[in-house]
Chains A and B, each alone.
Chain A
Amino acid sequence: ELKVEQNPLFLSMQEGKNYTIYCNYSTTSDRLYWYRQDPGKSLESLFVLLSNGAVKQEGRLMASLDTKARLSTLHITAAVHDLSATYFCAVDWKGTDKLIFGTGTRLQVFP
């Protein structure tokens, strides 16, 4: 069974600070996603990481993937209030058609 864990579960940080969210998964996978979810809304796709060493950046967010360590990170640079949301990583379960979600990280950015 594929398990996907995120750390931390909740993060409160001041505007302007940096922080990293970690996503660990338990079995081999070829594809990892990062999503953002605002309260009461569905998912917004942020990044798709397809290979070992992949790094993608969009604005203040940067995602990376280490398939050997089964680890992905989402780095936040100089956080702003608009980044407040819940962030999920999700992993394609190799050999199946399924996408399994991590536990989620609720981010709160305050002035």
Chain B
Amino acid sequence: GAVVSQHPSWVICKSGTSVKIECRSLDFQATTMFWYRQFPKQSLMLMATSNEGSKATYEQGVEKDKFLINHASLTLSTLTVTSAHPEDSSFYICSARLQGTGELFFGEGSRLTVL
């Protein structure tokens, strides 16, 4: 099956710094990728839809200036958490949709802890 890889798996940073998370589709091209956030013991909440070659579409309540998304190529989307604060600590999961079948494949997730 199709593989989506995220990096890093775990990151700890100080408050006020920025953190970049990468999401790659390894064996297929993805014009659309999605970023989800999951707080402990909660469901996955869609943050934004990342579109190759155009601006990301953010869900209501998600600050686009805080969560910068760049979809630079058909296999790479990045999420940058700017000026991170402890409340941004969460599990971030990306996914990519396989053209044709439309099936969604998920990355391994990135756990962000902001001290």
User: Contact between A102 and B43 (Cβ–Cβ < 8 Å)?
Assistant: yes
Nearest neighbor of A100 in chain B, beta-carbon distance: B46
User: Count the B residues whose beta carbon is within 8 Å of the partner chain — how many?
Assistant: 21
Q: Which residues, 69 to 111 on A, are CB-close (under 8 Å) to B?
A: 88, 92, 97-104, 106
User: Contact between B43 and A48 (Cβ–Cβ < 8 Å)?
Assistant: no
User: Count the A residues whose beta carbon is within 8 Å of the partner chain — how many?
Assistant: 19
Proximity bits, A36-78, B CB within 8 Å = 1, else 0: 0000111101001000000000000000000000000000000
Known: A42-B108, A97-B32. A104 touches B95 (CB 8 A): no
User: Contact between A98 and B97 (Cβ–Cβ < 8 Å)?
Assistant: no
Nearest neighbor of A106 in chain B, beta-carbon distance: B41
Q: Return the contact of B93 from the options A31, A33, A42, A98 (Cβ within 8 A).
A: A42
Chain B interface residues toward A at CB < 8 A = 32, 34, 36, 41-46, 49, 93, 95, 97, 102-104, 106-109, 111
